[in-house]
């Protein structure tokens, strides 16, 4: 898997403009990476800080995509995610909820507790 594919994976369904804004880099830089240029170390660092992407995976394609253990230790990040979910959950489609449930159940036990408390009722 090449850089372009790995960047597309972490971009997800965001627009290129939204992804560039999230990463704090110019849109032209994203285009450059998607056209085959190797991402800068600054991009790799930002992907790790903002998206919890494993730098080794982004650079080499090896290892897990996300460094869950580093992200889970940050209590403020978990509170932020739970707050985001509480506000967004009611507006999401069943498919979007299923995707989040699958990933968050695996990585964040607090999410499971939140669902069991009825906060994420469908």
Token representation of residue 50: 């903002």
- Domains of the chain, start order: 3-66 (1.10.260.40), 74-116 (no CATH)
The reported pLDDT for the residue numbered 112 is 65
Q: CA geometry: angle at 119 spanning 113 and 122, to 5°?
A: 115
Whether pTM > 0.75 for this model: the answer is no
- pLDDT greater than 50 at residue 70: no
Does residue 52 carry a pLDDT above 70?
yes
CB proximity list for 18: less than 8 A, separation 6 or greater: none
Please provide the average confidence, as pLDDT, over all residues in the chain. 79
User: Residue 71 above 90 pLDDT?
Assistant: no
Summarised one tens digit per residue, pLDDT across range 72-116 is 445 665 666 667 677 778 888 888 788 777 766 666 666 667 667
The pLDDT of 35-54, averaged and rounded, is: 90
Q: What is the pLDDT of residue 74?
A: 54
């Amino acid at each position: 898997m090449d850089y372009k594919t790995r960047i597309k994976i972490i971009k997800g369904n965001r627009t290129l403009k939204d992804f560039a804004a999230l990463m704090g880099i110019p849109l032209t830089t994203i285009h450059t990476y998607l056209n085959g240029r190797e991402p800068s170390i600054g991009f790799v660092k930002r992907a790790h800080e903002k998206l919890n992407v494993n730098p080794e995976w982004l650079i080499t394609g090896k290892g897990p995509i996300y460094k869950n253990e580093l992200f889970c230790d940050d209590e403020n990040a978990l509170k932020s995610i739970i707050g985001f979910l509480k506000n967004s959950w009611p507006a999401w489609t069943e498919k979007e909820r299923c995707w989040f449930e699958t990933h968050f159940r695996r990585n964040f036990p607090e999410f499971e507790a939140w669902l069991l408390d009825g906060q994420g009722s469908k």
